[in-house]
Amino acid sequence: MSVMKNICIVKTGSTFSATRADHEDFEDWIINRLDRTQSTPFTVNVQGGDALPDLSQCDGIILTGSHSMVTDEDLWSQKTAQWLKDAVHQEIPLLAICYGHQLLAKSLGGVADYHTEGMEIGTVEIHLTDYIQDDLLFSELPDSIFAHTIHSQSVLELPSDAVRLAYNSHDHNHAFRIGKCAWGVQFHPEFSKEIMDSYINEIAKTEKFDADKKLSLLQRSQETRESNALLKKFESIVCLY
């Protein structure tokens, strides 16, 4: 009988209340993308005050996105950053999404801050580097994929020992790997088209998009099969590691 693997989902924030009412929240989207025949996900809400578990309880780790900013240096975020460093050192498979991607890079010596060109939002094309060929998570993907994005801050500089795996015209560092099994992705592999559309509609209220920009973003929104598949792929790595 195979042993079930525990995957800790570190919840670093929540989505918009309107989006949550229709589509649940970050951790739910991640869990719904997993197979769960050999894994048991459990959620730790660090932004909400939950204590981080001992790493011995975690066979794998997934960090969610957040509406917080890494540069705010919130206490819960600083504690999570140190915990991440320990997880990387112990070679626990780790996938950090959006805010988590930025926090992982920053915790290991990289630089995360506001992007000079502002927010990236919508379904965008992302190009993969040659380094994916030997990468456990990305190796089966084509040279470019579509993925959902929504972020104002980015990883401006990778840690010195990081391997850059993906980029596009907006972000030089859309995905990277540290060590053998820790990955950061700026895009959202957990999003569906409906969730992306909800974000476009909600952000349009605060960013004051004109009608043409909002319509253009909604028209370009699409399902993102390859990027969505990364969550099950990561789960399989955890189960075999």
The tokens for 132 are 């994916």
Q: Is residue 190 among the annotated active site residues? A: yes
Q: Please pick, among 98, 148, 174, 181, the residue that the annotation labels catalytic.
A: 98
For the chain, what is the mean pLDDT? 96
Mark out the alpha helices in 24-74 (DSSP H runs). 26-33
The tokens for 83 are 């915990």
- Name the one residue in this structure whose structure tokens are 């920053």: 106
Q: Which of 47, 171, 68 is nearest to 121 (CA)?
A: 171
The DSSP symbol for 188 reads: B
Per-residue pLDDT reduced to its tens digit, 152-199: 999 999 999 999 999 999 999 999 999 999 999 999 999 999 999 999
In the chain, how long is the greatest CA-to-CA distance? Answer: 57
Domain at 5-192+225-240, CATH from 3.50.50.60, 3.40.50.880, 1.10.3720.10, 3.30.56.10: 3.40.50.880
Provide the pLDDT for residue 175. 98
Name every residue whose Cβ is closer than 8 Å to that of residue 186 and which is 6 or more positions away in sequence.
98, 101, 102, 149, 151, 154, 155, 171, 173, 174, 175
Q: Please pick, among 27, 120, 190, 235, the residue that the annotation labels catalytic.
A: 190
Q: Is the pLDDT of residue 1 over 60?
A: no
Residues in the chain: 241
Q: Is residue 235 among the annotated active site residues? A: no
Per-residue pLDDT reduced to its tens digit, 121-153: 999 999 999 999 999 999 999 999 999 999 999
Q: Please pick, among 8, 181, 188, 235, the residue that the annotation labels catalytic.
A: 188
Q: Is residue 98 among the annotated active site residues? A: yes
Mean pLDDT of 5-11: 98
Provide the pLDDT for residue 168. 98
Higher pLDDT, 42 or 208: 42
Provide the pLDDT for residue 235. 98
